[in-house]
Chain A
């Protein structure tokens, strides 16, 4: 994250944030982001609220987006931030999320709000709070960046 963002990338992020302000995703609020996109770090932090009638009702989670200069042609790095990481079969205790659109199925037509919507729906459709079966092994071996992981997507139900 040493170099400032290319103009084209910054413009697209700016447009997304403007759109997000005009049409917010239900249950998702913007917590903080860079004040100008000339900043070197572009961490965008969102707060996700567990929806009513789901097992995460009343809980709040911090989600961090980090784009690199290849965005939107490369997916953003999206992780839940401690201390509160949702107990979910596709979310590891280090905050990494196993979600195909953040990896192989990324498309430049996807946006911050589309990703937030997917994550909200992933939480809302979950019936049982538990960690992925390989959680302990994964968090010992994984890199800080979830994009360094070669994900296997094997469950379309949750």
Chain B
């Protein structure tokens, strides 16, 4: 599991070295790819568990500027990490918030930390949003009927999901 993760890191870094055009980022990535040539041993501290719920670093989709230029990812090599637990919201029916387009496991675009500080709201129509996102939308349509952005039915919150499923990995 951990070796495949290292493979992933190497490929994305090699791509970075190939793609980056500006001199500054080329020099930085060539330095890091030198480091990557050393064979990486699986870190001993990594727990041996099924990796489906583990966070995978650096597999985020490529980001492009509007003119199609690829934005280089951070040239950071994760040498060793140890997962303690993973969590997700119990009531979220979808993966991403339909308003800010961020995953529910991350926070809305205005918050810094996911979790209790940026909870989710579930409507009677079963559509789910970050509570901050849906509040902003409801405030912006004061004079009109308050509707769900997804299905346009009247927005009735069931409850705020304060509960998260936590999987302990140890």
Residues of A close to B34: CB separation below 8 A: none
How far is the CB of B88 from the nearest CB of chain A, in Å? 20
Contact with A along B103-136 (1 / 0, CB 8 A): 0000011100000000000000000000001001
The CB with the most chain B CB atoms within 10 A, among A8, A16, A108, is that of: A108
- Main secondary structure, interface of B, reads loop
The CB with the most chain A CB atoms within 10 A, among B63, B98, B101, B109, is that of: B101
Residue of chain B at shortest CB distance from A15? B101
Contact with B along A73-114 (1 / 0, CB 8 A): 110000000000000000000000000000001011100000
Complex Cα distance A108/B68, Å? 25
- B interface, how many residues as a size bin? 20 to 34
How far is the CB of A131 from the nearest CB of chain B, in Å? 30
Complex Cα distance A74/B10, Å? 42
Are A33 and B99 interface neighbours, CB within 8 A?
A: no
Residue of chain B at shortest CB distance from A18? B63
Residues of B close to A34: CB separation below 8 A: 66
A11 within 8 A of B: yes
- The number of residues on chain A lying at the interface, defined by a beta carbon within 8 Å of a beta carbon of chain B, is 28
Complex Cα distance A133/B60, Å? 50
Could you list 11 A-B pairs, sorted by A, with CB under 8 Å? A7-B109, A12-B101, A12-B109, A15-B101, A16-B101, A21-B68, A33-B66, A35-B66, A73-B136, A107-B150, A109-B149
B57 within 8 A of A: no
How far is the CB of A119 from the nearest CB of chain B, in Å? 19
